[in-house]
Structure 1
Amino acid sequence: MTPTARDPAALADFVELLAADPRLGVHRPALEELAAPVRSRDGLADWAGTDLVAAYTGPGAFVAGAGAPHGSRRRP
């Protein structure tokens, strides 16, 4: 099941998991910064109006040649 805003702890855990993935290393600082307000629901206004999909996807989203963390698996 994909985490949603209805379960902020699970969503924050997922954002932290993404931040730890070496393939997303270029976005690690932003993802780590986002996880805390998602978990606490405090400070999310700072992220309001940000198109996260547009900002953190696309050709430069992944680091070329970086492998998935040990023990990770692709989500369906």
Structure 2
Amino acid sequence: MVNYLLVVFAGLITPFAFAPFGYIPTIFIGHLILFWLIFNSKDNKQALKLDWYLAYLSICLDFIGCSLL
């Protein structure tokens, strides 16, 4: 449970830390979809895999958003 809370906290903070203001809503919605997938995963191994996808995708989306300026 603590793992899930840390993932949610990190995912909610990264768009505001790295993305330009105009791209925050899009990235934020993407993070919420990934959170939904994590919370609906069947087992811990699948949830852990989704945690890594969340971290990777959030970093990619944040840098793409920054590079579009």
User: Normalising to structure 2: TM-score of the pair?
Assistant: 0.42
- Does 1 or 2 have the higher relative contact order (CA < 8 Å, sep 6+)? 2
